[in-house]
Protein backbone atom coordinates (compact mmCIF):
# COMPACT_ATOMS: atom_id res chain seq x y z
CA UNK A 1 0.00 0.00 0.00
CA UNK A 2 1.24 3.45 -0.92
CA UNK A 3 1.64 5.87 1.97
CA UNK A 4 -0.65 8.88 1.57
CA UNK A 5 -0.16 12.33 3.11
CA UNK A 6 -2.53 12.95 6.02
CA UNK A 7 -3.84 16.11 4.45
CA UNK A 8 -4.31 16.34 0.74
CA UNK A 9 -5.52 19.58 -0.81
CA UNK A 10 -6.83 17.65 -3.81
CA UNK A 11 -8.71 15.04 -1.80
CA UNK A 12 -12.14 16.32 -2.80
CA UNK A 13 -11.29 16.31 -6.52
CA UNK A 14 -9.67 12.89 -6.30
CA UNK A 15 -12.70 11.44 -4.55
CA UNK A 16 -15.02 12.95 -7.15
CA UNK A 17 -12.95 11.65 -10.05
CA UNK A 18 -12.69 8.17 -8.52
CA UNK A 19 -16.43 8.10 -7.91
CA UNK A 20 -17.31 9.17 -11.46
CA UNK A 21 -14.95 6.55 -12.92
CA UNK A 22 -16.48 3.80 -10.82
CA UNK A 23 -20.07 4.89 -11.47
CA UNK A 24 -19.39 4.80 -15.22
CA UNK A 25 -17.60 1.43 -15.02
CA UNK A 26 -20.03 -0.44 -12.79
CA UNK A 27 -23.24 1.60 -12.65
CA UNK A 28 -24.08 4.02 -9.85
CA UNK A 29 -26.14 1.49 -7.85
CA UNK A 30 -23.31 -1.04 -7.70
CA UNK A 31 -20.59 1.20 -6.27
CA UNK A 32 -19.88 1.55 -2.54
CA UNK A 33 -18.22 4.39 -0.67
CA UNK A 34 -15.47 1.94 0.33
CA UNK A 35 -14.67 1.31 -3.33
CA UNK A 36 -14.56 5.05 -4.02
CA UNK A 37 -12.14 5.78 -1.19
CA UNK A 38 -9.97 2.79 -2.14
CA UNK A 39 -9.75 3.94 -5.77
CA UNK A 40 -8.85 7.46 -4.60
CA UNK A 41 -6.29 6.09 -2.13
CA UNK A 42 -8.05 7.86 0.75
CA UNK A 43 -9.91 6.93 3.91
CA UNK A 44 -13.59 6.84 4.78
CA UNK A 45 -12.89 9.73 7.13
CA UNK A 46 -11.59 11.87 4.24
CA UNK A 47 -14.71 11.02 2.28
CA UNK A 48 -16.98 12.11 5.14
CA UNK A 49 -15.16 15.43 5.33
CA UNK A 50 -16.46 16.37 1.87
CA UNK A 51 -19.59 14.31 1.15
CA UNK A 52 -22.62 13.09 3.10
CA UNK A 53 -23.01 9.95 0.96
CA UNK A 54 -22.23 8.69 -2.52
CA UNK A 55 -25.16 10.55 -4.05
CA UNK A 56 -23.72 13.74 -2.65
CA UNK A 57 -20.60 13.30 -4.80
CA UNK A 58 -22.78 14.01 -7.82
CA UNK A 59 -24.62 16.97 -6.32
CA UNK A 60 -22.19 18.73 -4.00
CA UNK A 61 -21.51 21.32 -6.71
CA UNK A 62 -25.19 22.06 -7.38
CA UNK A 63 -25.74 22.21 -3.61
CA UNK A 64 -23.97 25.57 -3.75
CA UNK A 65 -25.91 26.85 -6.77
CA UNK A 66 -29.05 28.29 -5.08
CA UNK A 67 -27.16 30.42 -2.55
CA UNK A 68 -24.55 31.54 -5.10
CA UNK A 69 -27.17 32.63 -7.63
CA UNK A 70 -29.32 34.37 -5.02
CA UNK A 71 -26.30 36.21 -3.62
CA UNK A 72 -25.29 37.38 -7.06
CA UNK A 73 -28.83 38.52 -7.98
CA UNK A 74 -29.03 40.53 -4.74
CA UNK A 75 -25.63 42.07 -5.38
CA UNK A 76 -26.23 42.99 -9.02
CA UNK A 77 -26.13 46.69 -9.90
CA UNK A 78 -29.46 48.21 -8.97
CA UNK A 79 -29.83 49.95 -12.32
CA UNK A 80 -30.12 46.55 -14.02
CA UNK A 81 -33.58 45.26 -15.00
CA UNK A 82 -34.65 42.01 -13.27
CA UNK A 83 -33.73 39.88 -16.26
CA UNK A 84 -30.37 41.62 -16.63
CA UNK A 85 -29.65 40.97 -12.94
CA UNK A 86 -30.59 37.33 -13.41
CA UNK A 87 -28.38 36.87 -16.47
CA UNK A 88 -25.50 38.67 -14.77
CA UNK A 89 -25.84 36.23 -11.86
CA UNK A 90 -25.88 33.21 -14.19
CA UNK A 91 -22.78 34.48 -15.99
CA UNK A 92 -20.93 35.30 -12.74
CA UNK A 93 -21.72 32.01 -11.03
CA UNK A 94 -20.96 29.78 -14.01
CA UNK A 95 -17.61 31.54 -14.52
CA UNK A 96 -16.66 30.25 -11.08
CA UNK A 97 -17.80 26.63 -11.55
CA UNK A 98 -14.92 24.30 -10.79
CA UNK A 99 -16.07 21.45 -13.02
CA UNK A 100 -14.20 20.48 -16.15
CA UNK A 101 -16.69 19.98 -18.98
CA UNK A 102 -15.59 16.36 -19.39
CA UNK A 103 -16.30 15.65 -15.70
CA UNK A 104 -19.62 17.48 -15.98
CA UNK A 105 -20.50 15.36 -19.02
CA UNK A 106 -19.68 12.17 -17.12
CA UNK A 107 -21.83 13.28 -14.21
CA UNK A 108 -24.67 14.14 -16.56
CA UNK A 109 -24.51 10.67 -18.15
CA UNK A 110 -24.63 8.99 -14.74
CA UNK A 111 -27.57 11.09 -13.56
CA UNK A 112 -29.38 10.57 -16.86
CA UNK A 113 -29.23 6.77 -16.43
CA UNK A 114 -31.10 6.78 -13.10
CA UNK A 115 -34.67 8.05 -12.53
CA UNK A 116 -33.87 8.50 -8.82
CA UNK A 117 -30.86 10.70 -9.60
CA UNK A 118 -32.82 12.64 -12.20
CA UNK A 119 -35.45 13.41 -9.56
CA UNK A 120 -32.71 14.52 -7.23
CA UNK A 121 -31.31 16.80 -9.92
CA UNK A 122 -34.72 18.33 -10.54
CA UNK A 123 -35.16 18.94 -6.82
CA UNK A 124 -31.82 20.77 -6.77
CA UNK A 125 -32.79 22.97 -9.69
CA UNK A 126 -36.16 23.67 -8.07
CA UNK A 127 -34.28 24.90 -5.00
CA UNK A 128 -32.23 27.19 -7.27
CA UNK A 129 -35.45 28.50 -8.84
CA UNK A 130 -36.95 29.28 -5.43
CA UNK A 131 -33.79 31.02 -4.21
CA UNK A 132 -33.51 33.17 -7.34
CA UNK A 133 -37.22 34.10 -7.24
CA UNK A 134 -36.85 35.23 -3.62
CA UNK A 135 -33.76 37.28 -4.46
CA UNK A 136 -35.60 38.97 -7.34
CA UNK A 137 -38.51 39.79 -5.02
CA UNK A 138 -36.01 41.36 -2.61
CA UNK A 139 -34.98 43.61 -5.50
CA UNK A 140 -38.61 44.67 -5.90
CA UNK A 141 -39.72 42.38 -8.71
CA UNK A 142 -43.42 41.49 -8.43
CA UNK A 143 -44.39 38.09 -7.00
CA UNK A 144 -45.34 36.18 -10.16
CA UNK A 145 -42.89 37.92 -12.46
CA UNK A 146 -40.10 36.86 -10.10
CA UNK A 147 -41.26 33.22 -10.26
CA UNK A 148 -41.49 33.31 -14.04
CA UNK A 149 -38.07 34.89 -14.55
CA UNK A 150 -36.45 32.51 -12.07
CA UNK A 151 -37.96 29.49 -13.86
CA UNK A 152 -36.79 30.83 -17.20
CA UNK A 153 -33.33 31.61 -15.83
CA UNK A 154 -32.97 28.03 -14.61
CA UNK A 155 -34.24 26.77 -17.99
CA UNK A 156 -31.49 28.81 -19.65
CA UNK A 157 -28.93 27.39 -17.22
CA UNK A 158 -30.03 23.82 -17.78
CA UNK A 159 -30.05 24.06 -21.57
CA UNK A 160 -26.72 25.88 -21.67
CA UNK A 161 -25.23 23.26 -19.37
CA UNK A 162 -26.41 20.45 -21.67
CA UNK A 163 -24.98 22.11 -24.73
CA UNK A 164 -21.70 22.85 -22.97
CA UNK A 165 -21.23 19.24 -21.84
CA UNK A 166 -22.30 17.97 -25.28
CA UNK A 167 -19.78 20.11 -27.14
CA UNK A 168 -17.13 20.75 -24.47
CA UNK A 169 -14.34 21.79 -26.78
CA UNK A 170 -16.01 24.80 -28.30
CA UNK A 171 -16.79 27.49 -25.75
CA UNK A 172 -17.22 27.78 -21.98
CA UNK A 173 -20.43 27.55 -19.97
CA UNK A 174 -20.88 31.34 -19.58
CA UNK A 175 -20.74 31.72 -23.39
CA UNK A 176 -23.43 29.02 -23.65
CA UNK A 177 -25.58 30.91 -21.13
CA UNK A 178 -25.29 34.08 -23.17
CA UNK A 179 -26.07 32.19 -26.36
CA UNK A 180 -29.19 30.54 -24.89
CA UNK A 181 -30.46 33.88 -23.56
CA UNK A 182 -29.89 35.54 -26.93
CA UNK A 183 -31.63 32.68 -28.76
CA UNK A 184 -34.57 32.94 -26.40
CA UNK A 185 -34.84 36.71 -26.86
CA UNK A 186 -34.80 36.20 -30.64
CA UNK A 187 -37.44 33.43 -30.47
CA UNK A 188 -39.75 35.50 -28.30
CA UNK A 189 -39.16 38.51 -30.51
CA UNK A 190 -40.73 36.60 -33.42
CA UNK A 191 -44.03 36.03 -31.61
CA UNK A 192 -46.94 37.93 -33.05
CA UNK A 193 -49.27 37.89 -30.05
CA UNK A 194 -52.12 39.28 -32.13
CA UNK A 195 -52.32 36.11 -34.23
CA UNK A 196 -52.40 33.69 -31.29
CA UNK A 197 -55.72 32.10 -30.26
CA UNK A 198 -57.64 34.37 -27.94
CA UNK A 199 -58.77 32.99 -24.60
CA UNK B 1 -76.85 2.45 2.33
CA UNK B 2 -78.05 4.43 -0.66
CA UNK B 3 -78.43 2.48 -3.89
CA UNK B 4 -76.05 3.76 -6.55
CA UNK B 5 -76.48 3.37 -10.31
CA UNK B 6 -74.14 0.78 -11.78
CA UNK B 7 -72.76 3.28 -14.25
CA UNK B 8 -72.27 6.86 -13.24
CA UNK B 9 -71.02 9.36 -15.81
CA UNK B 10 -69.72 11.58 -13.01
CA UNK B 11 -67.91 8.85 -11.11
CA UNK B 12 -64.43 10.14 -11.97
CA UNK B 13 -65.26 13.68 -10.86
CA UNK B 14 -66.94 12.47 -7.68
CA UNK B 15 -63.95 10.32 -6.78
CA UNK B 16 -61.58 13.22 -7.41
CA UNK B 17 -63.65 15.62 -5.33
CA UNK B 18 -63.98 13.12 -2.48
CA UNK B 19 -60.24 12.46 -2.53
CA UNK B 20 -59.31 16.15 -2.48
CA UNK B 21 -61.70 16.79 0.42
CA UNK B 22 -60.24 13.93 2.44
CA UNK B 23 -56.62 14.84 1.65
CA UNK B 24 -57.28 18.38 2.86
CA UNK B 25 -59.12 17.21 5.98
CA UNK B 26 -56.75 14.47 7.13
CA UNK B 27 -53.51 14.92 5.17
CA UNK B 28 -52.65 12.96 2.03
CA UNK B 29 -50.66 10.26 3.87
CA UNK B 30 -53.53 9.41 6.19
CA UNK B 31 -56.23 8.76 3.60
CA UNK B 32 -56.97 5.31 2.14
CA UNK B 33 -58.61 4.42 -1.17
CA UNK B 34 -61.42 2.75 0.82
CA UNK B 35 -62.18 6.07 2.52
CA UNK B 36 -62.22 7.86 -0.83
CA UNK B 37 -64.66 5.41 -2.41
CA UNK B 38 -66.86 5.46 0.69
CA UNK B 39 -67.03 9.27 0.68
CA UNK B 40 -67.88 9.22 -3.03
CA UNK B 41 -70.49 6.47 -2.51
CA UNK B 42 -68.75 4.25 -5.05
CA UNK B 43 -66.92 0.92 -5.08
CA UNK B 44 -63.27 0.02 -5.19
CA UNK B 45 -63.94 -1.34 -8.67
CA UNK B 46 -65.16 2.07 -9.87
CA UNK B 47 -62.02 3.63 -8.42
CA UNK B 48 -59.77 1.21 -10.29
CA UNK B 49 -61.54 2.07 -13.54
CA UNK B 50 -60.16 5.63 -13.37
CA UNK B 51 -57.08 5.64 -11.16
CA UNK B 52 -54.09 3.38 -10.54
CA UNK B 53 -53.74 4.47 -6.89
CA UNK B 54 -54.49 7.42 -4.64
CA UNK B 55 -51.50 9.40 -5.93
CA UNK B 56 -52.90 9.04 -9.42
CA UNK B 57 -56.02 11.01 -8.38
CA UNK B 58 -53.80 14.07 -8.12
CA UNK B 59 -51.91 13.51 -11.35
CA UNK B 60 -54.35 11.84 -13.78
CA UNK B 61 -54.95 15.20 -15.42
CA UNK B 62 -51.26 16.03 -15.88
CA UNK B 63 -50.73 12.48 -17.17
CA UNK B 64 -52.45 13.64 -20.34
CA UNK B 65 -50.47 16.87 -20.63
CA UNK B 66 -47.33 15.66 -22.49
CA UNK B 67 -49.22 13.92 -25.30
CA UNK B 68 -51.79 16.71 -25.62
CA UNK B 69 -49.14 19.43 -25.87
CA UNK B 70 -46.99 17.44 -28.31
CA UNK B 71 -50.00 16.69 -30.50
CA UNK B 72 -50.97 20.34 -30.59
CA UNK B 73 -47.40 21.52 -31.37
CA UNK B 74 -47.20 19.04 -34.27
CA UNK B 75 -50.59 20.13 -35.58
CA UNK B 76 -49.97 23.88 -35.35
CA UNK B 77 -50.03 25.84 -38.61
CA UNK B 78 -46.68 25.37 -40.31
CA UNK B 79 -46.26 29.07 -40.96
CA UNK B 80 -45.98 29.67 -37.19
CA UNK B 81 -42.54 30.19 -35.65
CA UNK B 82 -41.51 27.54 -33.07
CA UNK B 83 -42.44 29.76 -30.14
CA UNK B 84 -45.77 30.67 -31.71
CA UNK B 85 -46.52 26.98 -32.22
CA UNK B 86 -45.62 26.32 -28.59
CA UNK B 87 -47.82 29.11 -27.26
CA UNK B 88 -50.69 28.06 -29.50
CA UNK B 89 -50.40 24.55 -28.05
CA UNK B 90 -50.38 25.86 -24.46
CA UNK B 91 -53.45 27.99 -25.16
CA UNK B 92 -55.32 25.18 -26.93
CA UNK B 93 -54.58 22.55 -24.30
CA UNK B 94 -55.33 24.72 -21.29
CA UNK B 95 -58.65 25.77 -22.83
CA UNK B 96 -59.65 22.13 -22.67
CA UNK B 97 -58.57 21.47 -19.07
CA UNK B 98 -61.47 20.07 -17.09
CA UNK B 99 -60.35 21.33 -13.70
CA UNK B 100 -62.18 24.04 -11.86
CA UNK B 101 -59.67 26.58 -10.49
CA UNK B 102 -60.83 25.89 -6.93
CA UNK B 103 -60.15 22.16 -7.37
CA UNK B 104 -56.81 22.92 -8.99
CA UNK B 105 -55.93 25.17 -6.05
CA UNK B 106 -56.81 22.41 -3.59
CA UNK B 107 -54.68 19.96 -5.49
CA UNK B 108 -51.80 22.42 -5.58
CA UNK B 109 -52.01 22.88 -1.78
CA UNK B 110 -51.94 19.12 -1.21
CA UNK B 111 -48.97 18.59 -3.54
CA UNK B 112 -47.15 21.56 -2.04
CA UNK B 113 -47.34 20.00 1.45
CA UNK B 114 -45.49 16.82 0.47
CA UNK B 115 -41.93 16.62 -0.89
CA UNK B 116 -42.74 13.22 -2.44
CA UNK B 117 -45.72 14.66 -4.32
CA UNK B 118 -43.71 17.71 -5.38
CA UNK B 119 -41.08 15.41 -6.90
CA UNK B 120 -43.84 13.54 -8.67
CA UNK B 121 -45.19 16.81 -10.06
CA UNK B 122 -41.77 17.84 -11.30
CA UNK B 123 -41.34 14.46 -12.99
CA UNK B 124 -44.65 14.99 -14.78
CA UNK B 125 -43.62 18.43 -16.00
CA UNK B 126 -40.25 17.06 -17.12
CA UNK B 127 -42.15 14.53 -19.24
CA UNK B 128 -44.14 17.40 -20.74
CA UNK B 129 -40.90 19.26 -21.50
CA UNK B 130 -39.42 16.22 -23.27
CA UNK B 131 -42.56 15.62 -25.31
CA UNK B 132 -42.79 19.25 -26.42
CA UNK B 133 -39.08 19.39 -27.32
CA UNK B 134 -39.47 16.29 -29.48
CA UNK B 135 -42.52 17.74 -31.21
CA UNK B 136 -40.63 20.97 -31.94
CA UNK B 137 -37.73 18.97 -33.42
CA UNK B 138 -40.23 17.18 -35.65
CA UNK B 139 -41.22 20.62 -36.95
CA UNK B 140 -37.58 21.28 -37.81
CA UNK B 141 -36.47 23.26 -34.74
CA UNK B 142 -32.79 22.69 -33.97
CA UNK B 143 -31.86 20.29 -31.14
CA UNK B 144 -30.91 22.72 -28.38
CA UNK B 145 -33.32 25.46 -29.36
CA UNK B 146 -36.14 22.90 -29.06
CA UNK B 147 -35.02 21.96 -25.54
CA UNK B 148 -34.75 25.59 -24.49
CA UNK B 149 -38.16 26.59 -25.87
CA UNK B 150 -39.82 23.52 -24.35
CA UNK B 151 -38.32 24.32 -20.92
CA UNK B 152 -39.46 27.92 -21.20
CA UNK B 153 -42.92 26.86 -22.39
CA UNK B 154 -43.33 24.64 -19.34
CA UNK B 155 -42.04 27.47 -17.11
CA UNK B 156 -44.75 29.70 -18.58
CA UNK B 157 -47.36 26.99 -17.98
CA UNK B 158 -46.29 26.43 -14.39
CA UNK B 159 -46.24 30.12 -13.48
CA UNK B 160 -49.54 30.79 -15.22
CA UNK B 161 -51.08 27.83 -13.42
CA UNK B 162 -49.91 29.15 -10.04
CA UNK B 163 -51.29 32.58 -10.71
CA UNK B 164 -54.57 31.19 -11.98
CA UNK B 165 -55.11 29.03 -8.88
CA UNK B 166 -54.03 31.90 -6.63
CA UNK B 167 -56.50 34.34 -8.13
CA UNK B 168 -59.14 32.03 -9.54
CA UNK B 169 -61.93 34.57 -9.88
CA UNK B 170 -60.20 36.91 -12.26
CA UNK B 171 -59.41 35.27 -15.60
CA UNK B 172 -59.01 31.76 -17.02
CA UNK B 173 -55.82 29.74 -17.38
CA UNK B 174 -55.35 30.50 -21.11
CA UNK B 175 -55.44 34.23 -20.33
CA UNK B 176 -52.78 33.66 -17.64
CA UNK B 177 -50.63 31.79 -20.20
CA UNK B 178 -50.87 34.69 -22.61
CA UNK B 179 -50.10 37.16 -19.84
CA UNK B 180 -47.00 35.23 -18.68
CA UNK B 181 -45.70 34.96 -22.25
CA UNK B 182 -46.23 38.67 -22.83
CA UNK B 183 -44.52 39.54 -19.53
CA UNK B 184 -41.57 37.35 -20.47
CA UNK B 185 -41.26 38.91 -23.93
CA UNK B 186 -41.28 42.35 -22.30
CA UNK B 187 -38.68 41.34 -19.69
CA UNK B 188 -36.37 39.86 -22.30
CA UNK B 189 -36.90 42.89 -24.51
CA UNK B 190 -35.34 45.08 -21.80
CA UNK B 191 -32.06 43.15 -21.78
CA UNK B 192 -29.11 45.06 -23.16
CA UNK B 193 -26.82 42.16 -23.96
CA UNK B 194 -23.92 44.52 -24.67
CA UNK B 195 -23.75 45.59 -21.02
CA UNK B 196 -23.71 42.06 -19.57
CA UNK B 197 -20.42 40.59 -18.33
CA UNK B 198 -18.50 39.03 -21.20
CA UNK B 199 -17.41 35.40 -20.88
Whether A57 has a pLDDT exceeding 70, the answer reads: yes
Looking at residue A64, its pLDDT comes to 86
Q: What crossing angle do the helices spanning A82-95 and A65-75 adopt, rounded to 10°? A: 130
% chain A with pLDDT above 90:
60
Distance from CA of B3 to the nearest CA of A (A): 42
Distances, alpha carbon B116 to alpha carbons A116, A119, B94, B119, B129, in Å: 12, 10, 25, 5, 20
Distance from CA of B19 to the nearest CA of A (A): 26
Residue of chain B with shortest Cα separation from A82: B187
Return all residues near A92 (Cβ < 8 A) that are at least 6 apart. A72, B197
At residue A99 the predicted structure's pLDDT band, cuts being 50, 70 and 90, is low
Of the candidate ranges A17-26, A88-97, A100-109, B98-107, the one whose mean pLDDT is the lowest: B98-107
Whether A3 has a pLDDT exceeding 60, the answer reads: no
A84/B196 Cβ within 8 A: yes
At residue B102 the predicted structure's pLDDT band, cuts being 50, 70 and 90, is confident
Distances, alpha carbon B143 to alpha carbons A9, B65, B127, B134, B138, in Å: 40, 22, 17, 9, 10
| Contacts with A115 from chain B: Cβ below 8 Å | 123
Q: What is the mean pLDDT of chain B?
A: 89
Nearest to A92 among B118, B181, B197 (CB): B197
Report the pLDDT averaged over residues B179-187.
Answer: 94
Nearest to A148 among B151, B155, B199 (CB): B155
Whether B61 has a pLDDT exceeding 80, the answer reads: no
B84/A195 Cβ within 8 A: yes
Report the pLDDT averaged over residues A112-128.
Answer: 90
Burial of A6 (0-12, 13-18, 19+ CB in 10 A): exposed
Looking at residue B99, its pLDDT comes to 62
A119/B190 Cβ within 8 A: no
A145/B187 Cβ within 8 A: yes
B residues 96-135 lying closer than 8 A (beta carbon) to A: 118-119, 122-123, 126
B193/A185 Cβ within 8 A: yes
Distances, alpha carbon B5 to alpha carbons B60, B147, B155, in Å: 24, 48, 43
B187/A184 Cβ within 8 A: no
At residue A140 the predicted structure's pLDDT band, cuts being 50, 70 and 90, is very high
pLDDT of A165-186, one tens digit each? 888 777 889 999 999 999 999 9
Whether A1 has a pLDDT exceeding 70, the answer reads: no
What are the backbone dihedrals phi and psi of residue B100, each rounded to the nearest 5 degrees, phi first?
-75, 145
Give CA–CA dist B188/B193, Å, rounded: 10
Nearest to A151 among B144, B158, B175 (CB): B158
| Contacts with B95 from chain A: Cβ below 8 Å | 197, 199
Residue of chain B with shortest Cα separation from A167: B144
Burial of B123 (0-12, 13-18, 19+ CB in 10 A): middle
Nearest to B87 among A145, A154, A196 (CB): A196
Q: Chain A contact for B174, CB < 8 A?
A: yes
pLDDT of B15-24, one tens digit each? 999 999 999 9
Report the pLDDT averaged over residues B170-196.
Answer: 90
Report the pLDDT averaged over residues B163-174.
Answer: 85
CA geometry: angle at B100 spanning B99 and B106, to 5°?
90
Report the pLDDT averaged over residues B116-136.
Answer: 93
Q: Chain A contact for B5, CB < 8 A?
A: no
Whether B48 has a pLDDT exceeding 80, the answer reads: yes
B184/A152 Cβ within 8 A: yes
A155/B155 Cβ within 8 A: yes
Amino acid sequence: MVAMPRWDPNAEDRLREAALELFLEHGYENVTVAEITERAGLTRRSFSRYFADKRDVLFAESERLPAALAHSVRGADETLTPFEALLTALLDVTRGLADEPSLAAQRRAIVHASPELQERGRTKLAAATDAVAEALRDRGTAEFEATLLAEVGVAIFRTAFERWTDQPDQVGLPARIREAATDLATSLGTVDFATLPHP
